[in-house]
Amino acid sequence: MAQFDAIVIGSGVNSLVTAAILGKAGKKVLVLESRNEVGGLASTLEFAPGFKCNIIHDTLKWIDPRVMTELNLESHGLEWIIPNVVRIALGKNDKHITFHRDPKKTADSIAHLSKKDADVWEEFITYIDKSVNFLERLYQLTPPSVPNMGLSEALSMRSMLGPVFKHGSRGVVDLMRVMPMMMPELMDEWFENALLRSAVATAGIHHLSFGPFAAGTGYNLLHQHTHSGGVFHNIKFAKGGTIGLANALKTVAESYNVTIETNSQVSSIDTDNDICNGVTLVNGKSIKASITVSGLDPQNTFINLVGAPKLNPNFQTQLRNIKYRGSTARIHFALKDLPQINNISAEMMKTVFSIAPTIEYQEKAADSVKYGIVANEPTVEFTIPSFINPDFAPDSKHVLSATVQYAPYHLRNQKWTNSIKEDLIKTVTQMLENYIPNFPTLIESSMAISPPDLESEFGLTEGNLNHGEMTLDQFMFMRPTISAAQYSTPIGNLYICGPGTHPGGGLHCTNGFNTAQKIIKDY
């Protein structure tokens, strides 16, 4: 029977980071992946003959610089494609707003719609960047144990003094003001143009079930811009698709003698007297280890794998109070030719496009979640990944991938069916035709991925891409619960490293890095 120092469940980017760092520290590590390839939410898929897509994430908003340095990813195959145009907000009558890496160019684009807004754009992104600077430091910390916070926990947060000295008490005040804000409140302080207000607000609702009028969307906006270097809507593309990040992490992990086994589904996390001693696979094989780390979400880790009967009632209650409510769908189109977007040149198409004319439009779309229906006018973001990675489609053909909010996991009085997914494809097709002439005639085939599809394929409870909503009541020492916020858990020797932990969702790898540091400190 194999004996390992650590077993890591799942092979998403956080799991691979944790495994690589533990391997680098000399631990004997085994990664178990239920699917036939590594990557999790960074995976790619051939969804039609000759056509590939990034299943979930087309772009990388930010990656923890500690991971880039510690694991030297760029020397292990990770290559970036960094566009100068980071987003185009599509407007009516072909009056778009182009967000550039250079804020002055963004201001010039805004000026065509509002000179007043253009004049304050650079001041706005400086304001946001100051608050983000606090989050960057906060995200590097293991959350303190509350309410039993002692001197050692307090001292561990001393790195927060850096931003305080840099920005003063005013910076702290601004952070505390922005985080609980709803998007209209923040926009009222800065901008008048409806399209700009909406384009900025899309960062506040990214992958949420809530609309821009929800309190705390200010926090989500800040989260999306961590380590953005002051570039609003900052993005990078990985060469070869988002899987390039996972493949680089896999290469690093294997260089440190980490064993990675695919097609190896865990059926239970084994415990004895509240101490974890390993796992059992669906084929009945038992594997022992001193440490077990789960990259799965809290529901799957504790309720499904540990088992509710082995959890204390207080912890069970905390787990069942976690809000998931996945409301994001993906649609991939295989196209006969490169789509021509009104008033957009070909050289500007290596970017993200958004369709959300006003904040009120976004809020109306979000209302559908309350009523348990799919929005008939959703908020849509899309990219053309084949324009960035030509091997995603046959010669002269292309892929368009759209992220759709709001398509709730829980539908009222019905379940998700192929018919509902087909209706969603038709809705998004009609929306795209408003900006891409004759778009339906370009479509060879298409595929919709609903929240239940995400749950069945990736084990995401209710299809939530963040392993739990990104809200202030599920932030820091309350993420995923107050009893499991330090990456360790009430089960001895069992740790968690997925997006359900601090600091939340995305492919930034911070969760995995922090978990590994915590384990190394404990052992």
Instruction: Provide the pLDDT for residue 158.
Output: 56
Segment 384-404 shows an average pLDDT of 97
Give yes or no for residue 115 having a pLDDT over 60: yes
Residue 350 shares a structural domain with residue 301: no
Segment 348-374 shows an average pLDDT of 97
In the chain, the percentage of residues whose pLDDT exceeds 90 is: 92
pLDDT confidence of 485, banded at 50, 70, 90? very high
Q: Counting Cβ atoms within 10 Å, is residue 96 exposed (0-12), middle (13-18) or buried (19+)?
A: buried
Residue 234 lies inside a defined structural domain of this protein? no
**H or E stretch covering 11:** none
Residue 334 shares a structural domain with residue 317: no
Strands (E) located in 282-410: 286-294, 328-335, 353-355, 379-383, 398-405
pLDDT confidence of 163, banded at 50, 70, 90? low
Please identify, among 179, 197, 224, the residue that sits at the C-terminal boundary of a domain. 224
Residue 177 shares a structural domain with residue 208: yes
Residue 314 shares a structural domain with residue 340: no
Instruction: Provide the pLDDT for residue 132.
Output: 93
Residue 136 shares a structural domain with residue 165: yes
Q: At what angle do helices 161-178 and 217-224 cross, to 10 degrees?
A: 140
Cα gap 135→238, rounded to integer Å = 25
Instruction: Provide the pLDDT for residue 54.
Output: 98
Q: Counting Cβ atoms within 10 Å, is residue 106 exposed (0-12), middle (13-18) or buried (19+)?
A: buried
Predicted confidence (pLDDT) per residue in 180-198, tens digit = 999 999 999 999 999 999 9
Residue 338 shares a structural domain with residue 445: yes
Give yes or no for residue 1 having a pLDDT over 50: no
Residue 114 lies inside a defined structural domain of this protein? no
Please identify, among 224, 252, 268, the residue that sits at the C-terminal boundary of a domain. 224
Predicted confidence (pLDDT) per residue in 254-285, tens digit = 999 999 999 999 999 999 999 999 999 999 99
Q: What is the largest CA-CA distance in the chain?
A: 70
Both structure tokens of 172: 């702290």
Instruction: Provide the pLDDT for residue 19.
Output: 98
DSSP 246-291: HHHHHHHHHHTT-EEESS--EEEEEEETTEEEEEEETTS-EEEEEE
Residue 317 shares a structural domain with residue 351: no
Residue 148 lies inside a defined structural domain of this protein? yes
Both structure tokens of 418: 């192929």
Instruction: Provide the pLDDT for residue 338.
Output: 95
145-172 burial, b for 16+ CB within 10 Å, e for fewer? beeeeeeebeeeeeeeeebeeebeeebb
Give yes or no for residue 168 having a pLDDT over 80: no
Residue 245's domain comprises: 3-41+62-76+241-321+469-522
Please identify, among 224, 253, 276, the residue that sits at the C-terminal boundary of a domain. 224
**Which residues, other chains included, contact 187 with Cβ-Cβ below 8 Å and sequence gap of 6+?**
197, 200, 201, 359
Residue 137 shares a structural domain with residue 195: yes
Residue 454 lies inside a defined structural domain of this protein? no
Residue 374 lies inside a defined structural domain of this protein? yes
Segment 504-509 shows an average pLDDT of 97
Strands (E) located in 345-480: 353-355, 379-383, 398-405, 443-449
Residue 25 belongs to domain with CATH number: 3.50.50.60
Predicted confidence (pLDDT) per residue in 421-465, tens digit = 999 999 999 999 999 999 999 999 999 999 999 999 999 999 999
Block residue for tokens 């979000």: 366
Number of domains in the chain: 3
Cα gap 2→238, rounded to integer Å = 36
Q: At what angle do helices 161-178 and 115-139 cross, to 10 degrees?
A: 120
Residue 336 shares a structural domain with residue 441: yes
**Mean pLDDT taken over the chain:** 95
Residue 72 lies inside a defined structural domain of this protein? yes
Residue 360 shares a structural domain with residue 431: yes
Residue 70 lies inside a defined structural domain of this protein? yes
Instruction: Provide the pLDDT for residue 164.
Output: 61
Give yes or no for residue 228 having a pLDDT over 70: yes
Residue 377 shares a structural domain with residue 299: no
Stretch among 36-45, 164-173, 369-378 having the lowest mean pLDDT: 164-173
Cis status, amide bond into 147, omega within 30 of 0 = yes
Instruction: Provide the pLDDT for residue 153.
Output: 54
Residue 29 lies inside a defined structural domain of this protein? yes
Cα gap 298→495, rounded to integer Å = 11
Cα gap 342→392, rounded to integer Å = 24
Residue 261 shares a structural domain with residue 176: no
Chain centroid to CA 6: how far?
A: 26
**Which residues, other chains included, contact 519 with Cβ-Cβ below 8 Å and sequence gap of 6+?**
6, 18, 22, 291, 293, 487, 495
